[in-house]
C-alpha cells in the first residue's frame, strides 16, 4: 500500500466531518425550531434536544482529539481512565451498546491509547443493532497487548476495513470508513508491532501487540 500523508490527513478530516455532521446538524435544526416555537412544552423539548446534540458533539470531538490528533495536552503516557471515559461516552451516546472494561494498568502509552480508541470505534460501528463491547489492555514483557471484542446480532464489518488492519489496503480503497484502520496499522508497524482481527456472524475480535521502548 502506498498512500501519501496528505491523502491520509484528508481522509481523517473526512471521517471527522462525517461523524460530526449529524450532531452539529441537529444543533442547527434545533435552533431553527426554537426560534419559531412558542409553546412552552415544545420549547423545553427543543432545549433537551439541543443539550443532547451538544453533548454528543463534545464527546466526539474529545474522542477524535486523542484518537486522531496529536493530543498535546497529554504526555507520553495517558491515564487509562481517559480512554475509558471517551469510549463510555460514545457507548452512552449510542444507547444500544454495553461496555465491559478490563485494563489492568493505570496508564498506557499514547500510541497504545490511539490504537485502543480506534479499535473500539470500529467495534462500536460493527454493532448497528446493539450488543456488547469488551475492551482490554495489559502491559507485560516489554509490550502493550490490546484486545477488543464486539459481539451482537449480525455484525456489520466491511471487508475493506479488514484489509486496512491487515495492511493489504490499496490506495483506491482508502476512504473515511477505512482510514482509521489504516492509520493504526501504520502506527503499529512503525512500533514493530502488529494487528489481528477475526470476524463471525455475531462477533468481531481485534487485537494489537505494540512493543515498548
How far is 56 from 60, CA to CA, in rounded Å?
6
Tens-digit pLDDT profile for residues 47-74: 888 998 899 899 999 999 999 987 656 7
Tens-digit pLDDT profile for residues 21-50: 888 888 888 888 888 888 888 888 888 889
Residue 73 has a pLDDT of 65
Q: Is the pLDDT of residue 7 over 90?
A: no
How far is 118 from 181, CA to CA, in rounded Å?
7
Tens-digit pLDDT profile for residues 78-134: 999 999 999 999 998 778 999 999 998 999 999 999 999 999 999 999 999 999 999
Tens-digit pLDDT profile for residues 121-154: 999 999 999 999 999 999 988 899 999 999 999 9
Q: What are 129's three cell numbers?
A: 443493532
Confidence of residue 16 (pLDDT cuts 50, 70, 90): confident
Model-level pTM? 0.89
Residue 213 has a pLDDT of 65
Mean pLDDT estimate for the chain:
90
Q: Is the pLDDT of residue 179 over 90?
A: yes
Which has more confidence, 70 or 77? 77
SS3 per residue for the chain: CCCCHHHHHHHHHHHHHHHHHHHHHHHHHHHHHHHHCCCHHHHHHHHHHHHHHHHHHHHHHHHHHHHCCCCCCCCCEEECHHHHHHHHHHHHHHCCEEEEEEECCCEEEHHHHHHHHHHHHHHHHCCCCCEEEEEEEEEECCEEEEEEEEECCCCCCCHHHHHHHHCCCCHHHCCCCCHHHHHHHHHHHHCCCEEEEEECCCEEEEEEEEECC
How far is 177 from 11, CA to CA, in rounded Å?
9
Confidence of residue 208 (pLDDT cuts 50, 70, 90): very high
Which has more confidence, 180 or 6? 180
Confidence of residue 2 (pLDDT cuts 50, 70, 90): low
Domains of the chain from N-terminus onward: 5-211 (3.30.565.10)
How far is 95 from 97, CA to CA, in rounded Å?
6
Q: What are 120's three cell numbers?
A: 473500539
Amino acid at each position: 500500500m502506498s498512500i501519501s500523508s496528505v491523502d491520509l490527513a484528508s481522509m481523517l478530516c473526512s471521517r471527522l466531518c462525517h461523524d460530526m455532521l449529524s450532531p452539529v446538524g441537529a444543533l442547527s435544526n434545533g435552533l431553527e425550531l426554537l426560534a419559531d416555537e412558542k409553546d412552552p412544552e415544545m420549547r423545553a423539548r427543543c432545549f433537551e434536544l439541543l443539550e443532547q446534540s451538544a453533548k454528543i458533539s463534545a464527546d466526539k470531538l474529545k474522542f477524535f482529539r486523542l484518537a486522531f490528533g496529536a493530543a498535546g495536552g497529554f504526555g507520553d503516557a495517558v491515564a487509562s481512565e481517559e480512554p475509558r471515559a471517551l469510549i463510555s461516552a460514545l457507548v452512552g451516546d449510542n444507547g444500544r451498546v454495553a461496555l465491559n472494561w478490563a485494563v489492568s494498568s493505570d496508564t498506557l502509552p499514547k500510541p497504545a491509547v490511539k490504537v485502543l480508541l480506534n479499535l473500539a470505534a470500529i467495534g462500536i460501528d460493527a454493532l448497528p443493532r446493539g450488543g456488547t463491547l469488551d475492551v482490554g489492555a495489559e502491559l507485560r514483557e516489554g509490550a502493550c497487548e490490546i484486545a477488543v471484542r464486539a459481539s451482537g446480532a449480525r455484525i456489520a464489518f466491511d471487508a475493506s476495513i479488514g484489509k486496512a488492519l491487515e495492511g493489504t489496503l490499496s490506495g483506491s480503497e482508502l476512504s473515511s470508513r477505512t482510514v482509521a484502520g489504516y492509520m493504526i496499522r501504520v502506527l503499529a508497524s512503525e512500533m514493530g508491532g502488529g494487528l489481528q482481527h477475526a470476524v463471525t456472524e455475531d462477533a468481531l475480535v481485534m487485537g494489537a501487540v505494540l512493543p515498548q521502548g
